[in-house]
Amino acid sequence: MNQQENFPTLAVILAAGQGTRMRSSLPKVMHQVGNRPLLGHVLAAADAAGADALAVVVGPDTPEVGEYVRGLAPHARTFVQRERLGTAHAVLAARPALQTHEQGCVLVLFGDSPLIGAETLARLRQTLIEGAAVAVAGFLSEQPDPYGRLLVEDGHLRAIREAKDATPEERAIKLCNGGVMGFRADHCLWLLERIGNTNAQGEYYLTDAVEQANAAGLSVVAVEVAEEEILGVNDREQLHAAEQIFQRRRRRRAMQEGVTLTAAETVYFSADTQLDADVRVEPCVVFGPGVQVGRGARINAFSHLEHVHIEPAGIA
């Protein structure tokens, strides 16, 4: 058994945001990329990373989010954040799950970040296995101005400095806060409970766990990840950007698995599309939900397919 298999993991997914910038009656995390809700992508990544338990924090006015979770991941526990008082407050809404998860680690994810990958979560977990009490995902940006900076000294993350509070020297730092965090389970609840709300907004910020951990002499480490991995979706433009990244990744994966895309940029995939090797896809094809294509089949140009299983004898 490897170290990760012997290090039980609880994934806490924060999905209570109102998403007012989406200008929609649909909860933000239910908007789709690749015909799958944003939240569904995060749940899938946590499952692929081998999370042993899932806790999803939802808002009091979005019952459809809880229903979706129960349908997709019936083993997950859902918790309601009745007041939106910051990210640390949101994680503590899942207190019963944290209290029963005493060993291993806790990964805190965001339900509006659909591009997070299982490998990234595994890297955060490995950092905790190797002794860090807190691991923070960070990314390098050529345009870091709006982001909090990760202040790293001698391999240790000393602080997260918000852009508005940063000195000129700190603003020159390009390693930015990605939001996603990991905690060793034996320190997680204790650290969260020490976070206060003495700030202008009166909210409890998850990032303050870094300061608390350092003050207690615990190891805090930044883990560099690709910027697109932790892209959050807050408006329609960001939703569009996430869709484009998803499609680019999915086309690349299809070709690496032996699929021919004669005009790759014109082919659109769903998250559950299954194509066997030696499938040939002509231009301007849309794979809707529930499509499976067997080895050697050809998909003609301008096809729009949904809920169908195609074998070579049945060319679309």
Tell me what pLDDT residue 1 has: 42
Rg (Cα) of the chain, in Å, rounded? 21
Tell me what pLDDT residue 199 has: 82
CATH architecture designation of domain 4-230 = Alpha-Beta Complex (3.90)
Please give the distance of CA 218 from its chain centroid, rounded to a whole number.
Answer: 25
Tell me what pLDDT residue 164 has: 84
Tell me what pLDDT residue 74 has: 95
Full-model pTM: 0.94
- Alpha helices for the chain (secondary structure H): 38-48, 63-72, 87-92, 95-100, 118-129, 168-171, 185-193, 208-215, 236-256
Q: Locate the domains of the chain by residue range.
A: 4-230, 257-310
- Determine the Cα–Cα distance for residues 220 and 121; give it in Å rounded to an integer: 16
- Determine the Cα–Cα distance for residues 258 and 237; give it in Å rounded to an integer: 32
Count Cβ atoms within 10 A of the Cβ of residue 281 and give its class: 0-12 exposed, 13-18 middle, 19 or more buried.
buried
Tell me what pLDDT residue 18 has: 81
Catalytic (active site) residue 21: yes
Phi, psi of 216 (to 5 degrees): -90, 5
Q: Which of 21, 123, 280, 298 is catalytic?
A: 21
Phi, psi of 143 (to 5 degrees): -130, 70
By C-alpha distance, which of 188, 159, 14, 147 is closest to 87? 14
pLDDT per residue, tens digit, the chain (316 aa), is 455 567 999 999 999 988 899 999 999 999 999 999 999 999 999 999 999 999 999 999 999 999 999 999 999 999 999 999 999 999 999 999 999 999 999 999 999 999 999 999 999 999 999 999 999 999 999 888 889 999 999 999 999 998 888 899 999 999 999 999 999 999 999 999 999 998 888 899 999 999 999 999 999 999 999 999 999 999 999 999 999 999 999 999 999 999 999 999 999 999 999 999 999 999 999 999 999 999 999 999 999 999 999 998 644 4
Tell me what pLDDT residue 305 has: 98
